[in-house]
A and B are shown apart, each in its own frame.
Chain A
Amino acid sequence: MTTELKAGLATLIAVVAIVLIAFFLWHSSRRKSATPKEDHKRIYELRIIYFFILTVGLAATLGATLQRLPYPSYRSNPAAAIIVKVTGSDWLWTFQILKEPQKGTYSKAKTYNRLILPSDQLVEFQVTSADVNHGFGLYNKAGVLLGQTQAMPGFVNRLYFHFPKPGTYYVLCLEYCGVGHQLMHAEINVK
């Protein structure tokens, strides 16, 4: 299951729960309370329970989700087999392989909007920009976003990615960069 799907599902479940609670409140509120003082007390007892559940739940989720972040330092073995310099500019992606792999097929020269990489090797994308901010969004053939990092002028963002099998992948720009933003895409052929 992709992360997006999980996020979507979690949201759906939460929204259904929230709407059910809201519906219960609305339904119950059509009747006027005969014992407002007791109701009030019950709500505030419930609030303490909610506070503890929420705090523990949030802390647990934080603990779980902060374990593996997409940042370079979270890679146990950051020695990539291939290093690709990616430069975004209005409105084009430029690729240049800085560290060549030991084996496999790959783009030898500087390429534009097109890149060939070998499969099953750890790739380090060194993403930057020659002008404004862009977003390096990596998609698979089915149109699912697999990951991203910003392309910023004056900075290099390092994104590690492992393409397990040969296939076609796409790059879309994911940071608004001017009137050609929607045209700024590239194709990565993994051989």
Chain B
Amino acid sequence: MNIIARQSPAPGHLENQTKAAWSVTAIAMFIVFSIFLAMGILGVVMRLNQGRWLALDPARFYSIMTLHGLLMTGGLFIAALYGAWYVLVRRTGMRAHAGIMAFMLLASVLGVAGVVIGTTIGKYAPGWYMLYPIPFLHPTWPSWSVGMVTSALLLIGLAWTGVLFSIFRSLGEQYGYKNLLGWQYFTSTEPRVKIRPIVLITMICLIDGTVAMLSGATFLIQYLIQWLDPAVQYNVLMEKNLIFIFGHTFTNLTLYFLVGIIYELMPRFTGRPWKTNRIVVVAWNTTMIFILLAYFHHLYMDFVQSESLQYLGEIFSYASAIPATVVTIFGLIAQIYRLGAKRWKFVPATFSLGALGWVIGGFAAIVDATITNNFVLHNTLWVPAHFHTYYLEGLFLWILGFTFYLVGSRAERLAKSALAFMVVAGYGFLSMFYLGGEWSVPRRYSDYISTPFPSHILSWHGELTAQIGAVLGALFLLGFLLYLVSLGFVQRQHVTELSLPEDDAKACMVPGE
């Protein structure tokens, strides 16, 4: 047992706090799935409009685009954050602070409501990362929507920062703050305080998450100041850097929080241990640095940015492939190689397929993170192609697996059919983005009606890929509905996971899950 700094809790306490954590996480997942469904439908609506099967007013289209981007990235981050927290509480017995977590969830929901009001009633439409100075110049949206969405996002950011610190404190109390980065493994292969991979990975996410939240809060506060006093102005290049430190890091952390969950839960289904060792520690400590430095690849086409930073962008984008695949993907392969058909349950299947999506999306990302390619791919449909790959067929599948585990559903076959459906339709949906990128079709266009080419070549390419994409996107959502049905088949006392010899004695399972 690794509890060193904390008094042994009263009997029954662990079980009670795990139950409370379960409830908060279940509510969070309910919220996230509702958001996902609504935003997924809006995604299909956008593809329909680009395919000319709908004719929305551009102001409406772009406000939908802004809403879709903000709530998808935000919603999936909530799932990752609360998922990691729940697994930590349940598997390590760390202090849950379920009340704080519930309060922060409520604050996030309030923020989400602000974003929805601002983008629907106000038609606020600067795009999800609100590239400076677009909220303020020639807007087609009212001034109140700028203030409302900016403050709503600040509120959400504050809530998440609160969550990050709450988890940090709990982990620190549990393992001792100095052990959380795993450096004790360098002095001894069997250190006195061992940490599980999920603890190490979460710690990496907490540090980079703090950086992301700080840069996010900085530009949001700056925006609020300019909103109050329009005479204030900022340096555009500086703001761009701040925005992408935030946006890039934030998206990556959504993935990594969930990777932590996979390290922890995969062994429960395979019966094979997946432990922290020196290589795992090195991989995740370097990842912590690589994520922060790779963000420069978002500014390749800003030629005024220092060239040495452009170099760094490409080098660290490439470097990030090394720890991710050598340690995590090989670790996963060791988990599943010759596993035997009986252990291929829905949860490990989603984890494995999600990892596949992560690798494919990651490869497409590296292609685009090569400056010479970025020159002709940046802001074409290649960009939504790659990030939808690791969102939709990557971390979203992980969230599906985690939630299935959380509720303890037994509808294996139904869930697996839904998964097969989502994989086939999903990759079809994505291939239309890739093809569009390959055909130089610009992203973030409400429609391709007025592109100027004599043969209408770009309109044709843009509309065709959008139409097929819309159909396949809708099919993906049908698969998701099927999955939601499968969550209804909960059996009391149904335990799908295996316990392993190195499990903490006090980490408890909730009866009835």
Contact = CB atoms under 8 A, between A and B. Distances in A.
B236 A32 contact: no
Chain B CB within 10 Å — which of A90, A135, A158, A183 has the most?
Answer: A183
Given A22-B356, A179-B59, A156 B304 contact: yes
B440 to A, nearest CB: 4
B444 A144 contact: no
Given A175-B131, A181-B445, 7 more contacts: A11-B367, A31-B340, A32-B343, A65-B372, A133-B131, A174-B380, A176-B127
A146 B318 contact: no
A4 B340 contact: no
Interface string B175-202: 0000000000000000000000000000
A55 B376 contact: no
A177 to B, nearest CB: 7
B225 interface: no
A62 B330 contact: no
A159 interface: yes
Given A43-B333, A178-B62, A149 B314 contact: no
Chain A CB within 10 Å — which of B311, B378, B446 has the most?
Answer: B378
B372 A58 contact: no
Contacts of B236: 133, 152-155
Interface in A154-191: 154-159, 168, 170, 172-183, 185, 187
Given A7-B377, A148-B378, A25 B304 contact: no
A92 B170 CA distance: 54
B371 A70 contact: yes
Nearest to B438: A8
Contacts of B322: 51, 54-55, 58
A103 interface: no
A39 interface: yes
A132 interface: yes
Nearest to B235: A154
A156 B236 CA distance: 12
Interface in A1-57: 2-8, 10-11, 14-15, 18-19, 22, 25-26, 28-33, 36, 39-40, 43-44, 46-47, 50-51, 54-55
A137 interface: yes
Given A133-B236, A143-B457, A152-B304, A33 B338 contact: yes
A31 B434 contact: no
Interface in B302-335: 302-304, 307, 310-311, 314-315, 318-319, 321-322, 325-326, 330, 333-334
Interface string B339-378: 1111110000000100010011001100110111101111
Interface residues of A, number: 85
Contact of A28 (B58, B330, B334, B338): B338
A30 B449 CA distance: 50
Interface of B: 58-59, 62, 125-127, 131, 133-134, 137-140, 235-237, 240, 272, 301-304, 307, 310-311, 314-315, 318-319, 321-322, 325-326, 330, 333-334, 336-344, 352, 356, 359-360, 363-364, 367-368, 370-373, 375-380, 382, 434, 437-440, 442, 444-455, 457-458, 461
A29 B340 contact: yes
Contacts of A175: 131, 379
A76 interface: no
Contacts of A69: 307, 310, 371-372
A116 interface: no
A73 interface: yes
A11 B438 CA distance: 11
B241 to A, nearest CB: 12
A142 B356 contact: no
A25 B453 CA distance: 47
Contacts of A104: none
A150 interface: yes
B383 to A, nearest CB: 10
Given A3-B375, A70-B372, A30 B341 contact: yes
Contacts of B360: 15, 18
A182 B63 CA distance: 14
B338 A32 contact: yes
Chain B CB within 10 Å — which of A3, A139, A150, A153 has the most?
Answer: A150
A66 B301 CA distance: 15
A157 B314 CA distance: 20
Contacts of A80: none
12 contacts: A3-B373, A4-B437, A15-B363, A31-B338, A39-B338, A50-B325, A132-B131, A135-B301, A137-B442, A141-B453, A150-B301, A154-B235
